[in-house]
């Protein structure tokens, strides 16, 4: 596209040419290791000195770089032109250093940098610009350095670079306090802070303006200006009858506006601005005219708008009228809420509905600090009333918060999405690491939507960009497609964003037949009876986008059946629950349809309707790639009900009747006893439907832990299908006649249970509950739940046996054996569990006859050895008769608890698992002295053992199995007299035997005595 640009009308020259500014500027630059990238610092220097009028008769620039030491890189008199200084800045290398000696560098600059030997001029204003990214290591020397600067009348600017602190997530509060102390007062004029080194370039304009005009102050060595430094054209606004110019430098940087109307110039004098911008605040440099615009009220009344982003350091916007005499009538003013936010730097009035009346006003505060000291930016949206009255409606800001400068540029756009309302674009050049982004907000009737419809990031562009979104405009069709395009500025580049056609899709779904029959099946799928249905999916396409573009394109869609329902109830023919993505060619102004065939299988859930869902989108492969209207749906859901064959109201009112009978009976007073021969329980149940169809009829069965379900046997009736599944160890859920338990249907089934061997309970309980998805009145619900129960006791299978080491004992008379108690013997009692379950709560009572008349013991208990039992000896019992006397023992055949006092031992047996046993050993002594005194021939001592259970136990013993005995027979030894001849014969025989033994020993020489041998006089032994 060829563009020929030429001036249309010459603009009047308002300002004086060549207003000299006579000053010396020394830049103190931190060159330590922490400040990087260095290229960004060099860019800042080049742009800063590029804004200054460098000349020996105007501005001179020197530079001191420091780290651990301060060095004069160049002095004030070294360079005479701007180009020389820019070249020196480009070639400047970093000195580096591990420490930051800011105080030393300031002292060197103020005492040496402005000296005549370095090119300083005594009559020139002196400015010091300190740029650093960290707190000084010689802070204790800073007061002396600042006093030296004050003595030399040096005005100081402090610039804090927070990149090092943000990267390391450190608190910069102490650092900022130090830089504020370095900067001259007030801080609002002489103090700057930026997020990182790259952001230094963002303050070049503001810093250059302040240096150039000394921020409108009137101190020593400083000048006062009227319109000489106006910077007319800093902002402009096209009007039907002229142009509105902003003049930020007018009136000592307080600012003003100029209306160029039909060759006439209208601008307010300084006095006309005093009410809104008092003279006492003129040193604050409000920058009125930084942005200019206008809004139209109802009736055609027009108000001019201008922003002063530095008014009281919070910013201000005024809505006003200019009269022909230059006087100003301010209708309303708006003020910012945060210091340094640059509120009012951008203005964007918007007529959303196109009626020629402004509906909303957007005011930007791009340097608004959000969380974590981030320059998120904020846009204030005001509703335009008719008084006029600008009412704050809402604020816009990026989400999530980041360094953004949201609102740095704004532009009203035509109706991009073809909804009948104008739109707006908001630039955010610092987002994504200074790459930038652009936000598009759609308008509404009298406002704009709170959330962006689109975020266009520079990262998505084919070429790398920086500061994308620093300017934006969108009023022209630049590519010839009759659609308005949006031009977006970036650093060293401009991007043209083409609009795309907007289409609206109106989808519809029609299912045939409209309801799914539960009873009737009209097709077969995968060898099973099924119900087949057809869905007609249609798209009606409309578009209000003008121009020449291909109005035929493709829609991609997919469908699903019961996507969020567990278990498949339906499926597409040839597929499953999901239909793969398909393409359908559609055209604007027509309705296009496609059929989807699916079938319903036998399912358990017929209460909830079947859900058919369709999701769709435009096929991006189509040129020129239209986009879907944001109000158009992207999905469609159709609910297909199930027909229930329950009359005209299609509501089924049923009456389920459940009857149950158990073949055992047992009450609390007379419980049913479970014995080894009876281990089963039979429960018969009948379920009947006495009214309309019952859908999804279920029978819930639960039973106590003392039972095990052995079998479930329904009647053999093919018309009523019964299927059961276990829901738990003691629960079943049965489906009755699925899917429908029809009117008048009846089903009977028998439940066979076995008594559990692991869990013994005092009650056997079986509970059944019938439910369905049909309706049933409360009056008939009482027979839907029944239960059968019986109280029970268990008769354990126990074998009790006893054995003794002594069954018969003979008592010898006095003199035959030593006196004292007789021998000790042992009686062992064994209890064996022969049943299938563990036994506890068993008690054994042992009764041992021990004491006769007069307290004479004939038997006594000496020791008890218990295995898996705890025993305790109790008091002697009292017999029903008087204890037997030893003299009367000949008349008694038995000694037991009825005629003698017994020693009683009570034992509590521990738990007896299945197949285990417990043994008790009782050791007793026989008292011979009692039986020797007594006159008797034989007597039997009867010991008795009784088996019982604890009170409240669920065990019950048979009477015959409760008692056992152990017997010991005691007899008196018989006395036999010896004859006299036997004694005499025994003596004579013994003497003869002794004589025979002596004779034999004599013969053998046993009684011969040996003599010792004698010696002669020579010592020889006589042989």
1015: pLDDT confidence band, cut at 50, 70 and 90?
low
Tell me the pLDDT band of 216, cut-offs 50, 70 and 90.
very low
Please name the residues in contact with 42: beta carbons below 8 A apart, sequence gap of 6 or more: 89, 90, 92
Q: What are phi and psi of 145, to 5 degrees?
A: -65, -40
User: Do 23-216 and 798-972 show the same overall fold?
Assistant: no
Q: What is the mean pLDDT of residues 979-1001?
A: 84
Is the pLDDT assigned to residue 221 strictly greater than 50?
Answer: no
Confidence of residue 14 (pLDDT cuts 50, 70, 90): very low
Give the pLDDT confidence of 334-348 residue by residue, as tens digits. 999 999 899 999 999
**CATH architecture of the domain formed by 798-972:** Sandwich (2.60)
d(CA 527, CA 599): 13
The residue among 690 and 282 whose pLDDT is bigger is: 690
Q: What is the mean pLDDT of residues 441-446?
A: 91
- What percent of the chain has a predicted confidence (pLDDT) above 70? 90
pLDDT for 645 beyond 60:
yes
d(CA 516, CA 530): 10
990 has a pLDDT exceeding 90: no
With a CB cutoff of 8 Å and minimum separation 6, the contacts of 14 are: 227, 230, 232, 258, 265
Q: What is the pTM of this model?
A: 0.52
Domain 23-216 in CATH: superfamily? von Willebrand factor, type A domain (3.40.50.410)
Higher pLDDT, 566 or 863: 863
Quick one: average pLDDT of 623-650? Answer: 80
pLDDT of residue 601: 77
Q: Which two tokens stand for residue 761?
A: 């309970």
pLDDT at 837: 83
Lowest mean per-residue pLDDT among 51-65, 201-215, 422-436, 771-785:
201-215
Q: How confident is the model at residue 12 (pLDDT cuts 50, 70, 90)?
A: very low
Q: How far apart are CA 983 and CA 56, in angstroms?
A: 171
User: What is the pLDDT, as a whole number, of residue 664?
Assistant: 87
For the cut 60, the answer to whether the pLDDT of residue 1006 exceeds it is yes
Give the chain's mean pLDDT.
Answer: 85
What is the per-residue pLDDT for 223?
A: 42
Contact 305, 293 (CB under 8 A): yes
Of residues 713 and 288, which shows the higher confidence score? 288
Give the contacts of 384 (CB within 8 A, at least 6 positions apart).
295, 297, 349, 357, 358, 359, 360, 361, 390
Residue 493 pLDDT level (bands cut at 50, 70, 90): very high
Fold of 656-794: Immunoglobulin-like (2.60.40)
Query: Rounded CA gap, 669 and 245, in Å?
Result: 109
Q: What is the pLDDT of residue 604?
A: 63
Q: Are 375 and 322 in contact (CB under 8 A)?
A: no
Question: Per-residue confidence at 107, pLDDT binned at 50, 70, 90?
Answer: very high
Break the chain into its structural domains and give their ranges.
23-216, 345-489, 502-601+616-621, 656-794, 798-972
Helical axes 38-50 vs 204-213, angle rounded to 10°: 40
Reply yes or no on whether the pLDDT at 378 is more than 80: yes
Class level of CATH domain 502-601+616-621: mainly beta
Could you say which DSSP state residue 369 is in? B
CA distance linking residue 414 with residue 427, whole number of Å: 17
Place of tokens 């084919």: 462
Q: In this predicted structure, what is the pLDDT of residue 429?
A: 96
Residue with the two structure tokens 């056997």: 764
- Say whether pLDDT at 224 is over 90: no
Give 989's contacts (C-beta < 8 A, 6+ positions apart): none
- Work out the burial of residue 888: count CB atoms within 10 Å of its CB; fewer than 13 is exposed, 13-18 middle, 19 or more buried: middle
pLDDT band, residue 1023 (cuts 50/70/90): very low
Confidence class for position 979, pLDDT limits 50, 70, 90: low
CA-to-CA distance for 202 and 171, rounded, in angstroms? 23
Cα four-point dihedral sign 543, 549, 554, 557: negative
Mean pLDDT of 217-241: 70
Whole-number pLDDT of residue 4:
41
What is the mean predicted confidence (pLDDT) over 129-144?
A: 92
Express each pLDDT in 380-437 by its tens digit: 999 998 766 899 999 999 988 899 999 999 999 998 888 889 999 999 999 999 999 9
Least confident segment among 357-366, 707-716, 777-786, 792-801? 707-716
List of residues 6+ apart from 217 with CB closer than 8 A: 189, 252, 283
């Amino acid at each position: 596209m060829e563009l020929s640009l030429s001036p249309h009308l010459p603009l009047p020259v308002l300002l004086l040419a060549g207003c000299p500014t006579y000053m010396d500027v020394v830049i103190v630059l931190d060159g330590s290791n922490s400040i990087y990238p260095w290229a960004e610092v060099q860019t800042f220097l080049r742009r800063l000195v590029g804004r200054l009028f460098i000349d020996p008769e105007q501005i001179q620039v020197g530079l001191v770089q420091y780290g651990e030491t301060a060095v004069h890189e160049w002095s004030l008199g070294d360079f005479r032109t701007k180009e020389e200084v820019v070249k020196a800045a480009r070639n400047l290398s970093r000195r580096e250093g591990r420490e930051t000696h800011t105080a030393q560098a300031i002292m060197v600059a103020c005492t040496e940098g402005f000296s005549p030997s370095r090119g300083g001029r005594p009559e020139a204003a002196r400015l010091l610009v300190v740029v650093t990214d960290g707190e000084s290591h010689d802070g204790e020397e800073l007061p002396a350095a600042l006093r030296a600067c004050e003595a030399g009348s040096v005005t100081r600017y402090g610039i804090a670079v927070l990149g090092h602190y943000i990267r390391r997530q450190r608190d910069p509060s102490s650092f900022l306090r130090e830089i504020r102390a370095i900067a001259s007062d007030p801080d609002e004029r002489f103090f700057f802070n930026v997020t990182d080194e790259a952001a230094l370039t963002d303050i070049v304009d503001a810093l250059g303006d302040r240096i150039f005009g000394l921020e409108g102050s009137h101190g020593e060595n400083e000048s006062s200006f009227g319109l000489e430094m106006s910077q007319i054209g800093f902002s402009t606004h096209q009007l039907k009858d002229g142009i509105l110019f902003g003049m930020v430098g007018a009136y000592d940087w307080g600012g003003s506006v100029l209306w160029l109307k039909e060759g006439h110039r209208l601008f307010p004098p300084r006095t006309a601005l005093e009410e809104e911008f008092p003279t006492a605040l003129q040193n604050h440099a409000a920058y009125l005219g930084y942005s200019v615009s206008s809004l139209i009220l109802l009736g055609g009344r027009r108000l001019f708008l201008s922003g002063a982003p530095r008014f009281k350091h919070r910013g201000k916007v005024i809505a006003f009228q200019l009269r022909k005499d230059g006087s100003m009538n301010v209708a309303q003013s708006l003020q910012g809420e945060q210091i340094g936010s640059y509120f009012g730097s951008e203005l964007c009035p918007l007529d959303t509905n196109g009626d020629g009346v402004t509906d909303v006003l957007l005011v930007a505060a791009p340097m608004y600090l959000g969380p974590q000291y981030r320059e998120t930016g904020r846009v204030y949206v005001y509703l335009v009333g008719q008084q006029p009255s600008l009412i704050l409606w809402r604020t816009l800001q990026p989400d999530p918060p980041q360094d953004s400068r949201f609102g740095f540029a704004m532009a009203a756009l035509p109706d991009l999405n073809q909804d009948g309302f104008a739109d707006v674009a908001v630039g955010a050049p610092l987002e994504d690491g200074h790459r930038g982004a652009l936000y598009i907000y759609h308008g509404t009737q009298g406002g704009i939507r709170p959330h962006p419809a689109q975020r266009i990031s520079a990262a998505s562009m084919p070429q790398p960009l920086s500061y994308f979104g620093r300017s934006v405009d969108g009023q022209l069709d630049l590519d010839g497609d009759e659609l308005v395009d949006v031009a977006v500025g970036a650093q060293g580049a401009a991007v043209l964003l083409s609009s795309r056609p907007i289409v609206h899709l109106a989808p519809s779904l029609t299912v045939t037949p409209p309801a799914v029959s539960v009873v009737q099946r009209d097709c077969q799928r995968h060898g099973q009876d099924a119900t087949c249905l057809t869905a007609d999916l249609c798209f009606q396409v409309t578009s209000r986008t003008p121009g020449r573009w291909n109005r035929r394109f493709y829609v991609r869609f997919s469908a699903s059946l019961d996507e969020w329902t567990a278990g498949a109830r339906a499926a597409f023919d040839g597929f499953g629950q999901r239909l793969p993505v398909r393409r359908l060619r559609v055209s604007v102004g027509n309705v296009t349809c496609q059929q989807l065939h699916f079938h319903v299988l036998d399912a358990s859930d017929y209460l909830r309707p079947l859900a058919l869902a369709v999701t769709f989108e435009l096929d991006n492969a189509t040129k020129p790639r239209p986009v879907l209207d944001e109000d158009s749906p992207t999905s469609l859901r159709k609910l297909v009900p199930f027909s229930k064959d329950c009359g005209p109201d299609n509501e089924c009112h049923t009456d389920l009747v459940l009857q149950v009978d158990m073949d055992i009976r047992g009450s609390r007073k007379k419980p049913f006893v479970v014995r080894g021969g009876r281990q089963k329980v039979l429960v018969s149940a009948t379920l009947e439907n006495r009214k309309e169809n019952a859908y999804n009829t279920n029978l819930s069965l639960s039973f106590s832990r003392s039972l095990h379900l052995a079998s479930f046997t329904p009647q053999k009736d093919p018309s009523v299908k019964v299927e059961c599944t276990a829901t738990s160890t003691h629960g079943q859920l049965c489906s009755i006649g699925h899917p429908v338990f029809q009117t008048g249907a009846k089903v009977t089934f028998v439940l066979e249970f076995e008594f559990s061997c692991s869990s013994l309970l005092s009650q056997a309980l079986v509970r059944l509950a019938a439910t369905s998805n049909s309706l049933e009145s409360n009056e008939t619900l009482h027979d839907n739940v029944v239960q059968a129960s019986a109280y029970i006791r268990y008769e354990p299978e126990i074998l009790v046996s006893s054995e003794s080491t002594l069954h018969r004992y003979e008592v010898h008379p006095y003199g035959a054996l030593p006196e004292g108690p007789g021998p000790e013997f042992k009686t062992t009692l064994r209890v064996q569990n022969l049943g299938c379950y563990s036994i506890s709560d068993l008690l054994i009572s042992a009764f041992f006859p021990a004491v006769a008349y007069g307290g004479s013991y004939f038997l006594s208990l000496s020791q008890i050895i218990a295995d898996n039992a705890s025993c305790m000896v109790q008091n002697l019992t009292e017999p029903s008769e008087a204890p037997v006397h030893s003299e009367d023992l000949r008349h008694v055949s038995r000694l037991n608890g009825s005629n003698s006092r017994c020693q009683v031992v009570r034992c509590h047996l521990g738990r007896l698992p299945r197949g285990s046993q417990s043994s008790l050993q009782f050791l007793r002594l026989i008292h011979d002295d009692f039986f020797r005194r007594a006159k008797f021939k034989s007597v039997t001592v009867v010991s008795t053992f009784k088996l019982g259970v604890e009170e409240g136990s669920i065990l019950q013993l048979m009477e015959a199995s409760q008692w056992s005995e152990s017997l010991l027979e005691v007899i008196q030894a018989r006395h036999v007299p010896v004859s006299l001849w036997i004694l005499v014969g025994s003596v004579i025989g013994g003497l003869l035997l002794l004589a025979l033994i002596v004779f034999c020993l004599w013969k053998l020489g046993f009684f011969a005595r040996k003599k010792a041998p004698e010696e002669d006089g020579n010592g020889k032994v006589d042989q």
